[in-house]
């Protein structure tokens, strides 16, 4: 079977955890969910398995997202998630201890940073490198980060939106806000509650966002039926929502993201800003797939905006590329040994 690689990249996302093994590429992508027995607190399953269990099993089994707003909210849950998934891609007997490079949001505090490292060591890592998510996304989006010309990446994920201006292999300006996919889902739930007197689930809200959501009022208005529960009668009810509804629901949050993009541009030194004007802003992350979000950002900032290829896996690809080159790894990661 040849040599078993011990270098692993982990994109520890709020919505999805993705794992890259050096020499093999992406080996796994699963929802960042753990299934817990509400009574005993025992973790019963992680990832896809956990998601599938919920709703099909007794009421005392619930799904929990151990990561919130891009950081670890539940240490044990996150450790179990990482450990279980690593052991699934590399059988225990075949490796001693792997070297991990893990992506983190740029707004993370020292305490949160140590929590990520702690989880990785406890999950069995030998060395842990941390790379800022925006840096990983930029490398994965094939931006030439080492060049002296400035470039800008905006990673729109589930828990956080990350903005970074890069030049000469470093981050010149960075900002991060806890407004991203999850918040947009909550906005949709709230809007439907206010305007239809119906409560819908998080899953339904996410589906509506993906299917008919758009960042600008679109010419071709789409419709979608969703099931919820009438707040007055308590009975199930099906309602029909339009792109316009979802656009209105998401508006405030989209402008909040835009405000931080503009702030990041304002904080950028003029020479680098003019490079970005020329080369454009690159979008990555799951929410960069929201219809017209590139156009929305472009119209509001006056900058050209491009969508990265395969935007959801840019961060993981960046981590993988760093594992392939020790120079990139050293230059772009933050902490090294414990
Ligand atoms: N086609 C799509 N259209 C709109 N939104 C989408 C689409 N596909 C995925 N998303 C949204 O993208 C988000 C997940 O993106 P991603 O996988 O980049 O997040 P993450 O890396 O887990 O989170 P974070 O980086 O914030 O910790 C979810 O909110 C999801 O609903
Ligand atoms: Mg992410």
For the CA of 315, the closest atom of ligand 1 is 21
For ligand 2, the distance from its centroid to the CA atom of residue 310, given in whole angstroms, is 13
Q: Which of 157, 205, 296 to mutate to test ligand 1, by most ligand atoms within 8 A of the CB atom? A: 157
Confidence of residue 5 (pLDDT cuts 50, 70, 90): low
Please state, in angstroms and rounded to a whole number, the distance separating the CA atoms of residues 304 and 160.
23
The residue contributing the CA closest to ligand 1 atom 3 is: 210
Q: What is the pLDDT of residues 147-182, one digit of tens each?
A: 899 999 999 999 999 999 999 988 999 999 999 999
Q: What is the pLDDT of residue 297?
A: 98
pLDDT of 263 > 80? The answer is yes
Say if pTM beats, i.e. exceeds, 0.75: yes
Q: Please give the residue that has the higher pLDDT: either 320 or 107.
A: 320
- Residue 132 Cα, ligand 2 centroid: separation in angstroms? 10
- Residue 92's pLDDT is what? 65
CA 229 / ligand 2 centre spacing (Å): 32
Closest protein CA for atom 12 of ligand 1: 286
Looking at residue 330, its pLDDT comes to: 78
pLDDT > 50? residue 25: yes
262 in helix, strand or coil?
helix
- Look-up: residue for tokens 């950028």? 268
Residue (of 86, 108, 109) closest to 99 by Cα position? 86
CA of 213, closest atom in ligand 1: 4
Of the candidates 80, 142, 78, the one whose C-alpha atom is nearest the C-alpha of residue 112 is 78
Nearest to 273 by CA among 174, 166, 150, 175: 150
How far is the first Cα of the chain from the last one, in angstroms, to the nearest whole number?
32
Dist. CA 210 → ligand 1 center (Å)? 9
* Six-digit token string for 217: 């009022």
pLDDT tens for each residue of 211-246: 999 999 777 789 999 999 999 999 999 999 999 999
Q: What is the pLDDT of residue 4?
A: 57
Note the ligand closest to the C-alpha atom of 250: 1
Q: What pLDDT shows up at residue 236?
A: 96
Q: Which residues line ligand 1 (CB under 6 A)?
A: 13-16, 70, 133, 157-160, 180-182, 206, 209-210, 285-287, 289-290, 312
**Joined tokens for residue 301:** 């900032």
Task: Give me the pLDDT at residue 337, please.
Answer: 39
Longest dimension (CA), the chain: 64
- Cα of 95 vs centre of ligand 1, distance in Å, is 32
Distance 290 CA to ligand 1 centre (A): 9
Q: Which of 134, 286, 292, 296 to mutate to test the pocket of ligand 1 (most atoms within 8 A of CB)?
A: 286
Contacts of 200 (CB under 8 A, 6+ apart): 188, 189, 192, 208, 226, 227, 228, 229
Q: Which two tokens stand for residue 193?
A: 């509650």
Tell me: pLDDT of 107 over 70: yes
Domains 7-135+314-332 and 142-179+252-311 alike in fold: yes
How many angstroms is it from 206 CA to the middle of ligand 1?
9
What's the whole-number average pLDDT of the chain? 91
Q: Which of 13, 14, 15, 310 to mutate to test the pocket of ligand 1 (most atoms within 8 A of CB)?
A: 15
The contacts of residue 163 (CB under 8 Å, 6+ apart) are 134, 152, 153, 154, 155, 173, 174, 175, 176, 260, 261, 264
Site to substitute for ligand 1 among 134, 161, 178, 181, most atoms within 8 A of C-beta: 181
**What is the token pair recorded at 158?**
């589930």
Residues with CB under 5 A from ligand 2 (ion): 13, 157
Residue 255 has pLDDT above 90, yes or no: yes
33-52 exposure pattern, b = at least 16 Cβ within 10 A, e = fewer? bbbbeeeeeebbbbbeebbe
Domain ranges (residues) in the chain: 7-135+314-332, 142-179+252-311, 181-249
Which pLDDT does position 335 carry in this prediction? 46
Residue 310 is predicted with a pLDDT of 96
pLDDT value at position 157? 96
Cα of 19 from ligand 2 centre, angstroms: 12
| Average pLDDT value for residue range 121-137 | 91
Please report the pLDDT score of residue 303 as a whole number.
96
Nearest ligand atom owner, CA of 116: 1
Q: Among all ligands shown, which has an atom nearest to the Cα of 78?
A: 1
> What is the pLDDT, as a whole number, of residue 94?
57
Domain made up of 181-249: CATH architecture: Alpha-Beta Complex (3.90)
Closest to 311 measured CA to CA, from 165, 183, 140 = 140
- d(CA 99, ligand 2 centre) in Å: 20
Domain 7-135+314-332 falls in which CATH fold?
Answer: Nucleotidyltransferase; domain 5 (3.30.420)
Architecture per CATH, 142-179+252-311:
2-Layer Sandwich (3.30)
């Amino acid at each position: 079977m040849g040599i078993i690689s011990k270098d692993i990249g982990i994109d520890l996302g709020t919505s999805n955890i993705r794992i890259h093994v050096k020499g093999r590429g992406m080996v796994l992508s699963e929802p960042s969910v753990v299934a817990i027995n509400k009574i005993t607190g025992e973790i019963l399953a992680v990832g896809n398995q956990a998601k599938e269990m919920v709703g099909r099993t007794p009421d005392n089994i619930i799904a929990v997202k151990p990561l919130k707003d891009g950081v670890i909210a539940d240490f044990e849950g996150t450790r179990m998630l990482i450990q279980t998934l690593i052991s699934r891609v590399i059988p225990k007997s075949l490796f001693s201890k792997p070297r991990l490079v893990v992506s983190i949001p740029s707004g993370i505090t020292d305490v949160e940073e140590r929590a990520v490292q702690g989880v990785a060591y406890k999950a069995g890592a030998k060395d842990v490198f941390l790379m800022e998510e925006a840096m990983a996304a930029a490398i994965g989006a094939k931006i030439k980060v080492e060049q002296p010309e400035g470039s800008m990446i905006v990673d729109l994920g589930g828990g956080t939106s990350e903005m970074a201006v890069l030049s000469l292999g470093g981050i010149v300006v960075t900002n991060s806000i806890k407004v991203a996919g999850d918040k947009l889902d909550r906005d949709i739930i709230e809007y439907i509650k206010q305007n239809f007197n119906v409560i819908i689930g998080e899953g339904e809200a996410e589906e509506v966002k993906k299917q008919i959501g758009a960042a600008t009022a679109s010419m071709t208005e789409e419709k979608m039926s969703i099931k919820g529960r009438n707040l007055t009668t308590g009975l199930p009810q099906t309602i029909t929502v339009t792109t316009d509804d979802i656009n209105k629901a998401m508006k405030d949050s989209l402008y909040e993201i835009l405000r931080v993009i503009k702030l990041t541009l304002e904080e950028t030194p003029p020479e680098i800003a003019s490079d970005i004007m020329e080369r454009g802003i690159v979008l990555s992350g799951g929410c960069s797939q929201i219809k017209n979000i590139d156009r929305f950002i472009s119209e509001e900032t006056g900058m050209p905006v491009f969508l990265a290829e395969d935007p959801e896996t840019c961060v993981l690809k960046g981590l993988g590329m760093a594992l392939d080159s020790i120079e990139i790894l050293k230059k772009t990661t933050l902490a090294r040994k414990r």
